[in-house]
Amino acid sequence: MKKVFLTIALVAFAVAANAQFVVSGQFGFNTTGGNTHYEAVAPLTTEFDYPATKTSNFLLSPSIGYMLNDNMQVGLGLLFTTGSATNYGAMGAYLNGQEDWIKTNNSAFGLAPYFRYYFAQAGNFNFFCEATLAFVTSGRSHTHAYDNSTNPVYDAEADGPTSTSILDFSIVPGVNYKFNDNWSADCYIDLAGLAYTRTATKNYGTVTDPDVVTSTDVNTSFGLVATASAQTLNAHLGNFRIGINYHF
């Protein structure tokens, strides 16, 4: 038995000696907004600003990997997204110097262990396939509505009617470009992904209790489609995701 443990320890040490850690991440942020300026001179002089839909989105997706050898890498990725959208109501409220809007906030969190295999090399380009088992949960959105053009003033907040949990297994191709011994960049081609996805949507709300779960809808899909976790990232970064890696 001691010989078995000693053999396993030597194999593990040999693997670790040839291994290399890789820290990588993806970051995304975007915002939209602005307003339309209205000015009229007949029949009355009127000038006011009507705001356009305002949105903001933030994405952080760090990961740490472990190079087993020149061709194989294992690791764990995290996903965090948060965003908000504000839609504006009756233009007449802004004409009179008042406000009418609804703001919705939402967020998602995920864990994604992965295995990557490099199968070809051309200069500084290394081509790979990456298998990922991701779990992503999106909590209930939160809505704040406000309208001071009414009497009494309408000011209400509420949680959204659904929350979502996604289990996603995918195999996605990509290419890694090595700048030097320490820095490299990945490009994932999500348009060519092979994925199995299971989505469970919880529905909330009764007349007496808006927080009770009334039902759960489960849907599954399989095919050559972008993965659910990639779709969450693509909402911020597009169908071609880019990650920056540091090797040490």
Question: Residue 3 phi/psi, 5° resolution?
Answer: -65, -35
- pLDDT range class, residue 104, cuts 50, 70, 90: very high
Q: 52, 40 in Cβ contact below 8 A? A: no
Give yes or no for residue 145 having a pLDDT over 90.
yes
pLDDT on residue 140: 94
Single-letter amino acid, residue 181: D
Direct distance between the N- and C-terminal alpha carbons of the chain, in angstroms, rounded to an integer: 35
Give yes or no for residue 20 having a pLDDT over 70.
yes
pTM of the full predicted structure?
A: 0.75
Domain boundaries, the chain: 18-247
243/182: higher pLDDT: 182
| CATH architecture for segment(s) 18-247 | Beta Barrel (2.40)
* Closest of 166, 220, 160, 172 to residue 196, by C-alpha: 220
Place of tokens 């690791």: 75
pLDDT in tens, 33-58: 999 888 876 666 678 899 999 999 88
Burial 54-88 (b: 16+ CB within 10 A, else e): beebbbebebebebbeeeebebebebebebbbbeb
pLDDT on residue 219: 86
**Which element (helix H / strand E) includes 232?**
helix 228-237
Least confident of 1-15, 108-122, 133-147, 233-247: 1-15
Q: 190, 227 in Cβ contact below 8 A? A: yes
- pLDDT range class, residue 204, cuts 50, 70, 90: very high
Query: Strands 142-147, 240-247: parallel, antiparallel or unpaired by DSSP?
Result: unpaired
pLDDT on residue 232: 55
pLDDT in tens, 158-192: 999 999 998 888 888 889 999 998 888 888 776 66
190/138: higher pLDDT: 138
Beta bridge partners of 83: 57, 106
Q: Which two tokens stand for residue 117?
A: 């295999």
